[in-house]
């Protein structure tokens, strides 16, 4: 088989016994929608960069995944988003980290690659850059979801000093990172 696109929506403690049929169907539906969005770009003769951006925007706009709308919360109750993109033809790359107001960070990463002389921008500067190049800016409240907020409260209650991995395991705990044995994104 010749593949033209692969995607992931995060790895972790994902067990069938813990997944409702409705939730499983929702995940499959969004992953399928994301693949279709990227494939439509490729089929239309657009670039692989266009396909990657279109695909990831679908996943960022869906609250099931830990990116964009579904981002988890920091200890301070904020959503800090990171993204990167790279072009295999030119080896150009762009990234943003710790942004809080950009609706689709993958588009900001691409803008850094194509519209700045830099590779990575962080924090408030990256948010400002995204605004200046015309990307969609949202109130940080846009990223608030009940499930993620409750996840933060649970994490703080269990041990306020430890960050929680999407990907925890017993082994993780040996390294000082809390494993709550479920997945946040």
| Residue 117 vs 175, nearer CB to another protein | 175
Residues 137-166 contacting another protein, CB under 8 A: 143, 148, 151-152, 155-156, 160, 162-166
Q: How far is the CB of 154 from another protein (least distance, A)?
A: 9
Q: Note whether 21 binds another protein by CB under 8 A.
A: no
Q: Which residue has the tokens 């089929």?
A: 43
Q: Which two tokens stand for residue 134?
A: 């015309």
| Residue 133 vs 145, nearer CB to another protein | 145
Residues 26-85 contacting another protein, CB under 8 A: 27-28, 31-32, 34-36, 38-39, 41-43, 45-53, 55-56, 59-60, 65-68, 70-76, 79-85
**CA 20 to CA 27: how far, in whole Å?**
11
**CA 9 to CA 32: how far, in whole Å?**
11
| Residue 75 vs 115, nearer CB to another protein | 75
Chain CA centroid to CA 40, Å: 21
Q: Note whether 10 binds another protein by CB under 8 A.
A: yes
Sequence-ordered list of residues with C-beta below 8 angstroms from that of 99, at least 6 positions apart, any chain: 80, 81, 82, 105, 108, 122, 123, 126, 127, 130
**CA 115 to CA 133: how far, in whole Å?**
8
Residues 89-148 contacting another protein, CB under 8 A: 89, 91, 93, 95-98, 105-106, 109-110, 119-120, 122-123, 143, 148
Contact 93, 86 (CB under 8 A): yes
Q: How far is the CB of 146 from another protein (least distance, A)?
A: 14
| Residue 120 vs 138, nearer CB to another protein | 120
Contact 95, 88 (CB under 8 A): no
Residue 49 per-residue DSSP state:
H
**Residue in 21, 88, 117, 139 binding another protein, rule: CB under 8 A:** 88
Q: How far is the CB of 53 from another protein (least distance, A)?
A: 7
**CA 40 to CA 91: how far, in whole Å?**
24
Size of the site for another protein (CB under 8 A): 102
């Amino acid at each position: 088989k010749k593949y033209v696109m692969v995607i992931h929506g995060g790895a972790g403690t994902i067990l069938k016994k813990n997944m409702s049929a409705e939730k499983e169907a929702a995940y499959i539906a969004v992953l399928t929608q994301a693949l279709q969005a990227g494939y439509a770009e490729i089929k239309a003769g657009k670039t692989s960069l266009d396909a990657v951006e279109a695909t990831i925007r679908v996943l960022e706009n869906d609250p099931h995944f830990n990116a964009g709308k579904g981002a988890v919360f920091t200890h301070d109750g904020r959503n800090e988003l990171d993204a990167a993109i790279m072009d295999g033809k030119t080896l150009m790359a762009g990234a943003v980290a710790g942004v809080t107001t950009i609706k689709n960070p993958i588009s900001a990463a691409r803008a850094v690659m194509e519209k700045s002389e830099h590779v990575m921008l962080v924090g408030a500067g990256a948010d400002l850059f995204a605004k200046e190049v015309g990307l969609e800016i949202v109130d940080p409240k846009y990223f608030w979801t009940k499930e993620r907020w409750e996840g933060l409260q649970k994490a703080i209650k269990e041990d306020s000093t430890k960050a929680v991995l999407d990907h925890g395991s017993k082994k993780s705990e040996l390294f000082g990172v809390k494993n709550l044995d479920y997945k946040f994104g």
